[in-house]
Structure 1
């Protein structure tokens, strides 16, 4: 299998063989802007930044949508220096292909001026001592070898006549305020050989369905969710999905991917990352490492043959000797009921109950209320088993009130003891309210907690730094739908995930 050279416009154009002639945007415009067809209807992917765009509409400008979706793509910032090879340059005068091997393509391509080190190499004969080549290269400029003219690789702006004490970034901002390098700011450095993904910087892109950007709005769509026992609505909403009122189909508010046919063992975040690994909401909320783990696990499962699992009935017989089943039998629950619950668990999820608590929930929630009436009088429990009964949830305990009353001794408290406890609580509350108490310390703790809360939802902990302003203001859930920084109202050009320790 030969490698396709997607840097060639002719190779990218060949992928549009099934592109509709009446499509909202033409294949030629897409190819010129770095895109190739993925084969998924009207979806195209940029070879240089790998952003995928679909749902094209009539009147769309390919270059503008590319810039909005991936503002720091090398094709957007420097189309003449990103390695793209137009069709007019692919053949020489005799009709021979200029690029016919990966090595030759590398030697013929221009140096990547997006890298600061390569820009610095152009300043070998720099004539102006008023400003250093290092400062100019850091600000995005390379030398044109004409007087002291320099050009920005990001915005193509040209500046000359540098004077003493000029600041490269300040002058760049004065003449070209919309340049992406200027808006990123001088604190962001591009390490040689590394792209923004490797540096942890994620470009901004607006959600496809902004009205479902908050969790509460997505939760409201699940009012008539048909399979709450298979997939809880809260888990789906947290994963960025809202219900479309069609079967069990949900859709991501940000990347617009649709998911359906949910099984009980499916995990919403895992499925979202598996089918839409480029979704910025998933990348921001869970991190690129999580997405890579999901893709690696999916690839490993595709390579390995499915294992032959033992029949659930045989496994259920073996698990009847485990601790959760024995404890349920000791409670007086019928053995057939316990075995059926274990077998249902194996059939749906493939794993057994790890605790008595889970087993009791399955028995009383799924089998029906009539099963709770089939409890027999248990044998006298031992001391360790009494502790296990105390650890069960109130839901399970309510189903067998006689057993809990017999197993757990309750020590009644007299009126005098209750009044004594009440007096102690009143003393504590009075002491905390005195001027000499810890009121100032409590207020300080409250302020510290407020500082760590998201400034949008006021619920989750902050976890995203906005670029270029650098404010840590929102949580992972709210950041993708924010256009301006809540603190300073500056335009957001990128995100960086943070972890408070």
Structure 2
């Protein structure tokens, strides 16, 4: 009860957006670099001249009344950037250049300055009373927070992103910056992040937006570890085609000095039950004698280069890198066999990973970044120096690189600060989805409908209809009248079957 009340109290997301706007206010010229990039421009360094790299349009002598994207669209309407960004409906998910107009019931003290009342610069989400829109910039930042997400097929990065979560860079802990729920210890193949978010925080603006716009969730085919539909026909072991079935075969697998079960499953292997022997469900290739540092995907592509699933799960670029490395290794062995010494003028790459950063080097790197203008501006946004310093330390240690943009740093500080405030040193303030859903399901004895049985569209009535021919069970009778494609797999619906529970 205490945790829920704390979460509801923290639902005031407007201060976050106001602070983000203030943080991005410093400009080169009259418009910020981010605002110009969102409109397709970049400053050339010559006074305030900005140029579009797509259509080569150059504009200078900017004033506050000149809206960058509007100017771009008026002067170069055929520009591919402009045409790809023009929205057809203000209520759809807005690109980062979008200018959101809204009405508010609260009195305004800026009636003589209507532009300040109507314009919301990127990368903000619109927080108006009638419209909520998240920009592409903020979605890109959310994706970058998952750069070190644990290697697993479920829940995948894509499932987390579409559910509105940001990674906290601590195991599989995630947070929603709009409703402030923090979750970790996700169960593979059973926890659906989007469904969890909807059940635990139904009033979250992100949840309400995707529900009101009927945005479909990811189907299994969006999971890179799920085989393509046509791939099943050529599989040697169709019973292990899906990750959850392969995962179940590893019950007797020893984890001592062997690759993780998740990595093996994602690479297409199921356990044979003998020693360390695993087999690919598609090509029937088997491997054993694994070492703890072996990468199952790499070894799969290396030893069975013609396996279609290995190519699919590795991706074209990564698969090609593996094959190039194999060829170089074979060439090197051939040279050594005939006593040919390889010569090269290239120097070995310098390892810039976090392992080479001792405390002294890290301290100097962080100190230099704390002196940057946008790091100092965060102090004016009520972030403590310790928060900013910790974010820089984590970024350099775990990711080995600077923040992609200054807004990434702002969001990182916001995420860290929210964790400190919400968790408050108490582990019970972190939600374990499977455990919380079990507790909520127990309330069905009091006459309430189990959350997992609520209609995926209205979240009010109980699910009653299963789609034909896919069989997915997701909506109530009233919502089914207007449904033409399945919310889960997106296939056309030929009819419904009424389910009685």
The alignment's TM-score, normalised by the length of structure 2, stands at 0.27
State the structure with more CA Rg: 1
Q: RCO greater where, 1 or 2, for CA within 8 Å and sep 6 or more?
A: 2
The alignment's TM-score, normalised by the length of structure 1, stands at 0.27
